[in-house]
Amino acid sequence: MKKNLTLKQIAKELEVSVSTVSKALKNSEEISESTRQKIQAFAKLYNYKPNNIALSLKNRKTKTIAVIIPEIVHHFFAMVISGIESVANKSGYNVIICISNESYEREVINIEMLASGSIDGFIISLAKESQEKKDYHHIKEVINQGMPVVMFDRVTREVYTDKVIIDDVLATQEAIQFLLSKQRKDIAFITTPDYISVGRLRTEGYTKMLLQNDIEINEDLIVRIANEEELITQLEHLFDTQKFNALVAVNELYAVAALKIALKRGIKVPDELNIIGFTDGIISQHSTPAISTIKQNAFKMGEISAKLLINKLEEENEHEHYITEVIGTELLHRETTSL
Amino acid sequence: MKKNLTLKQIAKELEVSVSTVSKALKNSEEISESTRQKIQAFAKLYNYKPNNIALSLKNRKTKTIAVIIPEIVHHFFAMVISGIESVANKSGYNVIICISNESYEREVINIEMLASGSIDGFIISLAKESQEKKDYHHIKEVINQGMPVVMFDRVTREVYTDKVIIDDVLATQEAIQFLLSKQRKDIAFITTPDYISVGRLRTEGYTKMLLQNDIEINEDLIVRIANEEELITQLEHLFDTQKFNALVAVNELYAVAALKIALKRGIKVPDELNIIGFTDGIISQHSTPAISTIKQNAFKMGEISAKLLINKLEEENEHEHYITEVIGTELLHRETTSL
């Protein structure tokens, strides 16, 4: 079978990163001239043509939108996709999903593959690694080529486009405020490293609210999970070394893990320990006791993302005007908070 | 923006089904000649060209495979996709996912869209509605066009292609055998209607094993859930009207729903009631008590599906030879079975 050269193969052959190849082929000045020349020559030699389909399709609309999500085994993203599908299908659009698996490289590869002709626009939530690298050239590139992009949940200020988010700072503040109103002032906070925008903003909400109430921040009560394989170890360490009567986690996986450890240690939930998670997913609903949670309205987030994208696609005149839509959240009390 | 006509629009305009349009454009004799002529004329008039990209791409390999799954908010399918991604990415293939949402029409639309040029092959698990209608012309069509297809989990004998399944009959028999060996002979069985292949085969395993042990089948102990909105009502009715000391469910959602009802009624699990589910997902793992389950090795199912497809894509000579790979299952004891 005749095969076409892929970005990845060029990268491997020349021992550079996929991102370098991608930038060099676009003649980006970020890449040294000698490297650019080498890569361009190689691509020419082996007949690499990323845009040959795109050209033939210039005026053809595919009625297909692509969604790039960081992971699939995650109820939040699954619900966002259900929301996107619901609006897209009603409007006669097909939906294609690709998974970056939290990898910057896979995000770049997926976007390049789809941008070259098979779709009309993107809905994207950033991979952890892209947020860590702060490299968004691949997204800026498709926008520059005139393809509409909507970002949701994990977004960045560095890309100017339509966005759909929740107010992570405010949502966390509301949860902390509730706990403080019940005289629970020793609050552990299970979050992600700060390079993940959502984790950083929620941590900001936590510290802001404590400071507003003249409570000193105890850094040992803040646990940042960089690697999910170490989740249990880090939580056990928290329970071993700290005293707290409430715990807030930035997702339901962290919340249920904390709940299980507490129950095993004979800690009474909610009497001795209140627990609040983010994401109203199947884990929170089905655990015993069921977990109180900050409901992010993922389905609605998907619906609005799809609406924004389709509006852009069907606008007669192109406007250089972007909006950020903020979706409301609500604190849903189940069995892990004391009312 | 200039728009192209879609199958769906033609169907709507002429007030026929998408499947009729699709078949008529392929000149299928299933459709009356007058209808065929009308649809073909309409498509020509409005310049519908499903295969214009396909033609230009005839010799171009996209290094992309498409996966069509029935639903996304489902741990089993998410894990299969992780397995597919893992093998595909190592072999330099991209993966595109589309969701049929259990709808025959969306399955047809997704397959038609992708088959016309953007991908090299398909991995498919059938929508409920396709299994109910027993209409697989859209899948046979892409196979006839020379595009490799691998089916997994929800498969059909009517399509001759590579398949990856578990032995649903045997897996269920093992679970029932375990319960019988513990003298639990009154076993409720929560399943799907028989048109879903997986549900039918598991029900077959249940009845076979009981009959082998000279236990009469009590049809009232078999609950078939056609509509998940009625899950709770149907389960409550089972608990209200029947006596049983064990319960097997064909997925973890049904299992956890039964567990919650049992706990609310003060029934001791596992002492008074053993529960076994299918699918080793996050619900089974995180519920309290954690649910004993028949592990389907979804990740492995994805890996093998991807390997079979990529082998087909990279074969130098095309063979008309297909295999069905059967993945082993195991009964995983957690806290809802008595050992």
- Nearest CA-CA partner of B50 in B70, B32, B24: B24
Give the pair of three-digit tokens for residue A320: 């250089």
Average pLDDT over residues B118-135: 93
For residue B52, the model assigns a pLDDT of 38
Q: Do A313 and B1 touch (CB under 8 A)?
A: yes
For residue A317, the model assigns a pLDDT of 63
Terminal alpha carbon distance of chain A:
66
Give the pair of three-digit tokens for residue A107: 């995000």
- Is the model's pLDDT at A57 over the cut of 60? no
- Is the model's pLDDT at A193 over the cut of 70? yes
Q: How far A71 CA sits from the closest chain B CA (Å)?
A: 9
For residue B23, the model assigns a pLDDT of 83
For residue A54, the model assigns a pLDDT of 41
Residue of A nearest to B50 (CA): A62
- Is the model's pLDDT at A58 over the cut of 80? no
Q: Do A72 and B63 touch (CB under 8 A)?
A: no
Give residue-wise pLDDT tens across range B105-121: 999 999 988 887 778 99
CA angle A320, A322, A328 (to 5 degrees): 170
For residue B74, the model assigns a pLDDT of 81
> Domain spans of chain A?
7-45, 61-165+298-328, 168-296
Give residue-wise pLDDT tens across range B171-210: 999 999 999 999 999 999 999 999 888 899 999 999 999 9
Question: How large a percentage of chain A has pLDDT more than 90?
Answer: 65
Terminal alpha carbon distance of chain B:
66
Q: Do A73 and B73 touch (CB under 8 A)?
A: no
For residue B319, the model assigns a pLDDT of 63
For residue A217, the model assigns a pLDDT of 96
Q: How far B61 CA sits from the closest chain A CA (Å)?
A: 6
Residue of A nearest to B256 (CA): A286
Given a contact cutoff of 8 angstroms between Cβ atoms, the answer to whether B120 and B88 are in contact is: no
Tell me which of B5-9, B237-241, B286-290 is least confident: B5-9
B4: confidence class by pLDDT, cuts 50, 70, 90: low
Q: How far B71 CA sits from the closest chain A CA (Å)?
A: 9
Can you tell me the distance from the alpha carbon of A15 to that of A190, in angstroms, rounded to the nearest whole number? 39
Q: B71 in helix, strand or coil?
A: coil
Average pLDDT over residues A259-279: 94
Can you tell me the distance from the alpha carbon of A47 to that of A45, in angstroms, rounded to the nearest whole number? 5
- Is the model's pLDDT at A311 over the cut of 80? yes
DSSP string, B151-167: EESS--TTS-SEEEEE-
Given a contact cutoff of 8 angstroms between Cβ atoms, the answer to whether B288 and A288 are in contact is: yes
How far is CA B293 from each of CA A260, B251, B253, B255, rounded to the nearest angstrom? 19, 9, 12, 9
Matching residue, tokens 């199958």:
B7
Could you tell me the sign of the dihedral formed by the alpha carbons of B227, B228, B230, B235, in that order? positive
Q: How far B184 CA sits from the closest chain A CA (Å)?
A: 26
Q: Do A98 and B97 touch (CB under 8 A)?
A: yes
Q: How far A196 CA sits from the closest chain B CA (Å)?
A: 22
CATH code, B168-296: 3.40.50.2300
| Same fold: B61-165+298-328 with B168-296 | yes
Q: Do B56 and A59 touch (CB under 8 A)?
A: no
CA angle A28, A29, A35 (to 5 degrees): 85
For residue A156, the model assigns a pLDDT of 94
B55: confidence class by pLDDT, cuts 50, 70, 90: very low
Burial (CB count within 10 angstroms: exposed 0-12, middle 13-18, buried 19+), residue A26:
middle
Q: Which of B6, B72, B95 sits opposite A78 (nearest CB)?
A: B72
Average pLDDT over residues A109-133: 90
Give residue-wise pLDDT tens across range A82-119: 999 999 999 999 999 999 999 999 999 999 888 877 78
A56: confidence class by pLDDT, cuts 50, 70, 90: very low
B316: confidence class by pLDDT, cuts 50, 70, 90: low
Query: A interface mutation test: which of B7, B97, B231 has the most A CBs within 10 A?
Result: B97
Give residue-wise pLDDT tens across range B57-114: 444 578 899 999 999 888 899 999 999 999 999 999 999 999 999 999 999 999 988 8
- Is the model's pLDDT at B42 over the cut of 90? no
Give residue-wise pLDDT tens across range B254-303: 999 999 999 989 999 999 999 999 988 888 888 888 999 999 899 999 99
Burial (CB count within 10 angstroms: exposed 0-12, middle 13-18, buried 19+), residue B115:
buried
Question: How large a percentage of chain B has pLDDT more than 70?
Answer: 93
For residue B2, the model assigns a pLDDT of 36
For residue B265, the model assigns a pLDDT of 95
Residue of A nearest to B316 (CA): A1
CA angle A96, A101, A104 (to 5 degrees): 100
For residue B62, the model assigns a pLDDT of 82
Cis bond leading into B289, ω under 30°? Answer: yes
The CATH T-level fold of domain B61-165+298-328 is Rossmann fold (3.40.50)
Q: Do A92 and B9 touch (CB under 8 A)?
A: yes
Residue of B nearest to A109 (CA): B94
For residue A3, the model assigns a pLDDT of 45
B4 chain-A contacts, CB cut-off 8 A: 60-63
Question: Left, alpha or beta for A246 (phi > 0: left; psi -120 to 50: alpha)?
Answer: beta
Q: Do A78 and B79 touch (CB under 8 A)?
A: no
Residue of B nearest to A113 (CA): B94
Can you tell me the distance from the alpha carbon of B127 to that of B135, in angstroms, rounded to the nearest whole number? 11
**Which are the contacts of A130, defined by CB distance < 8 A and separation ≥ 6?**
A100, A104, A107, A136
Average pLDDT over residues A177-189: 96
What's the whole-number average pLDDT of chain A? 89
Q: Do B59 and A2 touch (CB under 8 A)?
A: yes
- Is the model's pLDDT at B44 over the cut of 80? no
Q: Do A4 and B63 touch (CB under 8 A)?
A: yes
A94 chain-B contacts, CB cut-off 8 A: 98, 109-110, 113
What's the whole-number average pLDDT of chain B? 89
**What is the enclosing helix (H) or strand (E) of A270?**
none
